[in-house]
Structures are given as C-alpha cells and as structure tokens.
C-alpha cells in the first residue's frame, strides 16, 4: 500500500498520566544495540463492521486506546523519554522528563485493503506506510513511536517502532500486554478511570542487577562499534553519536510471507532428527538429547530451506551463519526477574558450510549444530570466557557468508494481546526487511505450532515456499 493511499487522521503525542522525572543508565547488554535499527512490529485486529466504521472507530475506540496508553506509560515512563549521552556520563542514559511524550500517528487506509491478514507472499513495500518513524539524531533518540491505522469495515492495526538499546523483545511484549490489559479493562468497565494493572505486567527497572562489563569480561560493544563504523564509513564515527546506522528496508523485488509449522510438523521433524542423530558427526557434543525444542527444529528447517532456495536461484553455494540470541534472565547468577525491563540477551552463532547442504541429512546437520551450540553455552555459562583469539574476530561474519538472524520468539505470547475487541488476527515483525532475518511467533490458534515470517527476493521466496513443504515430506 502506497502512502498516497493513506489518510492521516491525527498526529498527536501521548504522555504518562502522571509520572515524575526518572532516568536509567544503559548497561553493557543495552549498549550492544545502541545504533542498530529500531525493532518494528505490527498487530492486526479484526472488528465487527459497526466498530470499524470510521465515525465510530475514531470517536469511540481511539479515545480508549489513547487513555489506556497514557495509563500504561505511567508504569513505563521511560518509553516516553529519550536516549541521551550527557558529557559527564560514561554511558548513555534513558531519561524521562515531565512533558515528554510518545508520538502517535492515527491513520485510515483506503477501503478493501486486507492483505495484511493473509499469509501468502505480497510486496514487501505494501505495509511500510503502516510503520511509524522513530526519530534519532547525533545527540538524542526517541524510545518508542506508535501508529494506529483503521481498515474500514475490516479492522485496525497497531504498529510499534522501539529502540532496541532500551528494551528487548521480552520487555516490548510486556509493555504491549500491559497496554492491552488496561484497554480491555476500560472497555469492560465502560469507564476511562485508571484501571488496575496486574503485578505480573509491572516492569522491573533496576538495572543494577545486570553485571558490569568488567564482571562479564566482555568488550563486544566496542568491537561492534568498530565494525559498524567500517560498514557505514559515511556515518559519524563519534563514539557518543546516537543516530541509528542506516539499515534501509529491502523493498524492491522483495516479498513478505508467513509460513506455518503445526505441532504435527514439529513432531515429525523432531522424530526425524533424533532417529538419525548418530548418523552425522556435526556438533561439538554428540550425545543424543531426549528431545529437541521447537526453536531448534524451526531454525534448522528454515535454514536448510533458505540455503536451498538461494542456491537454486543464484546457482551458487553459500556458507551460512545463523545468529540468534538467548534470554539471560534465568541464566545470570543470581537470576533476575522475568519482568526486568531492558536488554538481557546474548548472541550466539552457528556456521554451516555449503557442503553441509549437499548431504542427505542436511536438516539433521543443522539441528545438531544449533542444539550443540545452545547446550555448550548452557553448560559453560552464557558469559563464559571466549577463546583467546576471539577478540580479533568480527562480531558478524563477512565476505561470502550469508548471515541469517532470528527475531521474535514463540515464547512471547504475542497473540494474547486483547485490547477489548478480540485477540490479534495477525502479528508481523516489519523490521525483517532490514536484513536476512527469520521472524518467530507462536501459532495464533494456540495448538503448539509456530509462525515463521520472512522477507526475501521474490524468486528466492517462490522456491523457498516449494522447498519448505518438500522438506516436511521427508522421512
């Protein structure tokens, strides 16, 4: 959908209902994401025809969404603030000052626009105008921006752009669920007075629970900064610059699609991997596990399918590096609360050589490599001392290596976010189009399956779809 097919209804700013000035420093685990692009996610909702009629939607539903957002920001005031780097501070800070607010754009699409509710491939550019811009400059960066778009007679969507250095996927989901909870309470109470927020949705802001860089023995943020500076030589190399590095969306000749893995599909993949586990010698740990997680199975399956799709289109075998993060909240000593608000992630990578995909059991090779890396990390500790030469390595592979990232999680429960008019019909991670990334979410029907979102070149996507289903038919 082009921007000229959108009608801007209102551009406004929403402040916390009442909140005092507050600030928090960024930790080592936040700094890893300081200048990377925002994380963009869209939640699509269907509505009964009367509620999706523009006069009703804008006069009845929008006030509820605004009011509940203000109530929610009272508990999450830093989201209305900015990332700053004061001269006297060794690290950037997140600062909220009364008067700060979240940018909210309210729009309406042209009639009969309903492609977002479908999983089939569609132009990647079609949904871009549904995503709000998150401002950043040399000296400051916004934390959150929002856009609500009405699809007349169909439903609406809520899109978020969030600063990854302030919050990870777990924290972003916590905020969105809190907002949905307060909105639903207002709808059911038929009153816009401040409703009660369940304790499990309240954020824990104390960043002192994260160990210091010295304690962790890591210097990856500095390596990351050097790498990104070389990657974008025309951008500011000032170590204190807060402007996002340019990761423009890949829109030309690219399509977006969602693929489903049912519980039965995952059970079949699990049986196949375990039955042939000892037939491959890949992975540093060879003992067969009692089971394999849905995450390992999904990543292995998608990695193999993407490799075959690229090979089929480009007639060239690539080395792939799969990069993913692990949530460290339960893995630190002592563990920190599940509702810790900030980044508590650490990255892992698995390299798979081109010849691995020629082997008959390429899926088992990939699954074993991913499982072994996770198991090794859990046994040694997330922040175990790296190899002596690791500091000389780039934080991302370079050269003829295709790096495949992972965004989202099937453990976030994104389909639980009901604002009072029903659960989401579709959830998409829009920022997948800024790289080669797999988007993961739990199946919306709650049957134990997974959704896989991708943005690929159209030819690659067409072949990927064919291989995706062919690989599931293997015994």
467 sits in which H/E element: helix 458-472
Q: Which two tokens stand for residue 291?
A: 């089971």
Sheet containing strand 426-429, strands side by side: 6-14, 102-109, 144-151, 155-162, 39-46, 426-429
The CA distance from 304 to 367, in Å, is 10
- Residue 424: closest CA among 117, 125, 197: 117
Q: Which two tokens stand for residue 441?
A: 């979410």
Distances (CA, A) of 220 to 156, 164, 212: 41, 16, 13
Phi-psi region of 413 (alpha: psi -120 to 50; beta: other; left: phi over 0): left
Q: What size, in residues, is the chain?
A: 475
What is the 8-class DSSP label of residue 359? S
Catalytic residue status for 122: no
The CA distance from 332 to 211, in Å, is 9
What backbone phi and psi angles, to 5 degrees, belong to 61? -80, -45
- Residue 76: closest CA among 101, 51, 56: 101
The CA distance from 252 to 223, in Å, is 32
Q: Say if residues 260 and 443 touch (Cβ distance below 8 Å).
A: yes
Residue 204, beta-bridge partner list: 340
**Which residues 6+ apart lie within 8 Å of 1 measured at CB?**
109, 110, 113, 115, 126, 127, 129, 130
The CA distance from 22 to 17, in Å, is 15
Catalytic residue status for 100: no
What is the 8-class DSSP label of residue 57? I
**Catalytic member of 37, 164, 254, 371:** 164
The CA distance from 13 to 11, in Å, is 7
**Which residues 6+ apart lie within 8 Å of 347 measured at CB?**
32, 323, 324, 325
**Which residues 6+ apart lie within 8 Å of 469 measured at CB?**
none
Q: Say if residues 371 and 289 touch (Cβ distance below 8 Å).
A: yes
The CA distance from 341 to 24, in Å, is 11
At 146, is the secondary structure helix, strand, or coil? strand
**Catalytic member of 122, 318, 351, 418:** 418
User: So which residues are the catalytic ones?
Assistant: 164, 418
């Amino acid at each position: 959908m082009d921007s000229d097919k959108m009608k801007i209804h209102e551009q406004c700013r929403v402040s916390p209902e009442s909140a005092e000035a507050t600030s928090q420093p960024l930790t080592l685990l936040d700094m890893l994401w300081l200048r990377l692009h925002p994380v963009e996610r869209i939640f699509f909702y269907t509505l009964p025809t009367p509620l999706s009629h523009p006069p009703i939607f804008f006069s009845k539903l929008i006030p509820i969404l605004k009011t509940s957002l203000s109530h929610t920001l009272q508990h999450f005031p830093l989201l209305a603030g900015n990332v700053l780097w004061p001269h006297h501070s060794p690290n950037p800070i997140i600062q909220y000052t009364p008067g700060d607010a979240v940018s909210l754009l309210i729009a309406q699409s042209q009639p009969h626009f309903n492609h977002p509710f479908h999983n089939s491939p569609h132009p990647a550019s079609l949904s871009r105008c549904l995503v709000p811009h998150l401002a950043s400059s040399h000296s400051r960066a916004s934390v959150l921006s929002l856009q609500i778009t009405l699809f007349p007679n169909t439903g609406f969507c809520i899109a978020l752009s969030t600063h990854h250095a302030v919050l990870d996927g777990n924290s972003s989901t916590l905020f969105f669920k809190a907002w949905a909870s307060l909105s639903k309470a207002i709808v059911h109470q038929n009153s816009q007075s401040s409703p009660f927020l369940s304790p499990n949705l309240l954020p824990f802001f104390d960043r002192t629970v994260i160990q210091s860089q010295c304690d962790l023995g890591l210097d990856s943020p500095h390596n990351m900064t050097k790498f990104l500076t070389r990657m974008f030589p025309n951008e500011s190399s000032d170590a204190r610059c807060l402007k996002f590095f340019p990761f423009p969306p890949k829109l030309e000749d690219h399509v977006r699609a969602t693929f489903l893995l049912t519980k039965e599909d995952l059970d079949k993949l699990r049986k196949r991997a375990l039955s042939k586990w000892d037939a491959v010698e890949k992975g540093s740990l060879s003992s067969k596990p009692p089971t394999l997680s849905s995450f390992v199975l999904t990543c292995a399956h998608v990695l193999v399918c993407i490799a075959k799709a690229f090979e089929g289109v480009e007639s060239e075998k690539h080395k792939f590096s799969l990069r993913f993060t692990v949530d460290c909240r339960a893995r630190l000593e002592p563990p920190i609360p599940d509702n810790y608000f900030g980044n508590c992630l650490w990255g892992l990578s698995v390299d798979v050589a081109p010849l691995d995909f020629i082997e008959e059991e390429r899926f088992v090779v990939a699954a074993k490599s991913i499982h072994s890396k996770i198991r090794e990390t859990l046994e040694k500790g997330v922040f175990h001392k790296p190899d002596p030469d690791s500091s000389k390595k780039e934080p991302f592979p370079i050269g003829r290596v295709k790096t495949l990232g992972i965004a989202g999680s099937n453990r976030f429960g994104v389909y639980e976010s009901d604002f009072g008019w029903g659960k989401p019909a579709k959830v998409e991670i829009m920022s997948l189009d800024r790289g080669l990334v797999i988007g993961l979410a739990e199946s919306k029907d709650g049957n134990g399956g997974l959704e896989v979102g991708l943005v690929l070149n159209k030819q690659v996507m067409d072949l990927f779809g064919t291989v995706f289903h062919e690989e599931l038919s293997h015994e």
